Structures are given as structure tokens and as C-alpha cells.
Amino acid sequence: MSRDQNRAFLIVMDSVGIGGAPDAAGFFNDERPDSGANTLAHIAAVRALALPNLDRLGLGAALHLASGAQAAGLGATPQGLWGAASEVSRGKDTPSGHWELAGVPVPFEWHYFPKTRPAFPPELTRQIAELAGTSGILGNCHASGTEILAELGAEHLRTGWPICYTSADSVLQIAAHEEAFGLGRLLDLCEKVAALVHPMRVGRVIARPFLGQEGAFRRTANRHDYAIPAPAETILDRAAGAGRVTHAIGKIGDIFSHRGISHLHKGQSDADLAQHLLRLAEEAEPGSLTFANFVEFDSLYGHRRDIEGYAQALEWFDRIAGALMARLRPGDLAIFTADHGNDPSWSGTDHTRERVPVLGWGYGAQPIGQVAFVDVAASVADHLGLAPVGPGRSFLDLR
């Protein structure tokens, strides 16, 4: 089969790091350096993981390669393409990891809001309130998204003021009640605030709609990220520019500012996204690229430091990976990787700087060693028969 008929599936297991990042000492959680953080190994240290499909590709071997760690339940002889990737971008955040996997290391330093209260400069606070049509904002601090709803949700309903907060990432999040404040109004506000802060190198403005009453607030699935566009051509742009169909599953559309994307596939949960992925394994067009993000490892378990929940999510996803591989065809490539770590055993609540696994189906047993994030994009382009994208080098053996 000509390579222009090959299909590629690039699947990001959000935050499934495997330790060993050479620059981890320069990244922190609650003033503790990320040296020694290891999402997968530390989960497995609490209880053995049953991940037969990912381990058959080489997950346990990739873990040992990245960090020297070994994990109970992960000891299979690799039958797939396997290795570990290191990031060079100076952020351990979602856009940095995804852009670099797509061929574009971040060429600048992100702006981060200080861990003070207030966190935002007065002029920005004034502009947000003016755009919202209110006399002020709530929050104005670093916070957990669920905790700040419990703290300020009732006051938001009383005052109508939007809840604005940030984190260790380069982000400004705005939470508002879908019914009392209005979902459309929130999205419009976030789009306008993004235009204010993107020139400051703030990576994303995130709309965080919620529902419920005091004591029972819950975030909805209508989150929307307004991200800075990648500063150079990504693998999505390259594929779309060559006339290939591209499918974005989950928050990939938001991360890449909906550039280079033919079709969006969203859902209420990772379980919904898994059904899109399995369906596209059957239906995606020859020559197409499917790019998926599974966020709940990170959002539900990593940030909340829930080791058991993370372990269960990994075992659920392993079954999805097995079902996907059973549906793939000759000429397909599937790469399972991650964008950063989020060790649920670590200090604080933020991402951890780690290497990530690179596991591939479609090229037989092939150790690729230590590679760069950008090598993932170069390899996908190589498989699809596209011109090289980014500074990476293909790790595929195309004999």
C-alpha cells in the first residue's frame, strides 16, 4: 500500500508520565522539585497494575528505560514499537506537551500569574469585570477548580460575578453557572479575555461552566479552552494542507485552536471519547490522521492525587487500547504517548516534569530508545508519506 493511503492514530494519555526527566529538578510542586516524580511507577508501587495490552507493546520496558524503575505487573517482552520521549519546552503543561508532540517546541517562556491574592493585575481585573458586565470578579487567586466552586459558588449566584482563578500552568480560568450566568455569555467572555491575555503569553483561557446549588455544585462537560495558536506548522496543519482528513478527539481541537482539523469528536467523558476512537478505527478515511486526548487521568485523578482512581482509569484504558488494536488494519500506525506527568503520590496538585512513553502498533517489535517529543510528529508524517514537519527525526523502520 502506498504511504498516502496509510492511516495514523496519535493517542495522548494525558499525564501518564514514566519519570526520569533530565531537567525535573528545575520544576516544582509546592516548592518541592519534581526530581524523582514518576506517575506510573508510584501508582504501581501502591498496587500492581493489570495493563496487558499496553505492556505487550512495551510500557514496562519504556518505564525502565526512562527512569530505571520497574513496576509490579509490567514485565512483558515488548512486541510493539517502544521507547521514551523527553520534552524541551519549558512548560510542563497541556499546550507545551501537545504542540511539541505535533512538531512545535514552544519557542518562548509562558507568562505565569503569581501565587498571591490577588493574582491578576488590577487593569486585567477591571477589564474582565467590564467585559462580564459586572462590578467585580471573584477568586483572583491560584485554586483547585472544584474547591473554588465549593468556596465561591454560592457567592457567584448571589452577585453574578464570574469566578476567575489560575494555577501553576499559564492559564486563566473563568467559572460561571450555566443557567444563572449563561453558557453563551461565559464563552463569549472567555473568548474576549483570551484576546487580552494571549499577547501576554498566557497560554489558555478556559471556560469552566457548572450547575447545581450551594453544597452540590458540579462542573459540566461544556468546558472550552481558548488557546494561543501554535507558532509554526503542526502535524495537523501539514496533513490538512496535503488534503488529508484529520479527526480531533476530545480537547485536541481547543489545544490547536481548531487549526488543521477536519472533524471534531467531543463527549461528556473519556468513555464517550473511547467510542469515537473505536468507531474511527473502523471508519477513518485512507490517509487520515486521528489525534486523540484522554484527559481524565489528569483532571480527575492526577490533580486530585487519587492513586486508586488513576490505577482504575489506566486499567480501563488498557482495555480500550486492546479493542483499538483489534480493529486496526495493515497500513495503520497507532502511537500511545503522553504530554507530561501528574504523579498522584507527589506534593501539591500540579503536573510533574517526566519523560513519557512512546508505544506503537503497526511496525512489529521495534525498540526506538530515548527520543524527543518532536520525533513523534516526524514519525507520523513519515508514516503518512508527508513532508517532514518540525525539527524531529522519524524513528520508524520503513523497510
Q: Annotated binding site for Mn(2+), which residues? A: 14, 298, 303, 339-340, 351
**Pairing relation of β-strands 204-211 and 224-227?**
antiparallel
- Residue 147: count of CB within 10 angstroms of its CB: 11
Residue 92 is placed in which grid cell?
510542563
Half-sphere exposure of 365 (CA within 13 A, CB side): 7
- CA–CA separation, 139 and 56 (whole Å): 46
Would you report the helix, strand and coil content of the chain in percent, each value rounded to 5?
Answer: 40, 20, 40
Find the Cα–Cα–Cα–Cα dihedral 364, 292, 276, 194, rounded to 10°. Answer: -170
Question: Where are the extended beta strands (E) located within 185-269?
Answer: 204-211, 218-219, 224-227, 246-249, 263-265
CA-CA distance, 85 to 60, in Å (whole number)? 14
Q: From 226, 310, 216, select the one nearest 14 (Cα to Cα).
A: 310
Question: Looking at the DSSP assignment, which residues form a beta bridge with residue 334?
Answer: 9, 361
Annotated binding site: 14, 298, 303, 339-340, 351
Task: Decide: 262 and 246 in contact? Cβ < 8 Å.
Answer: yes
Residue with cell 483572583: 140
| C-alpha radius of gyration, the chain, whole number | 21
Query: Which residue in this structure is represented by grid cell 507558532?
Result: 231
Provide the β-strand partners of residue 370.
84
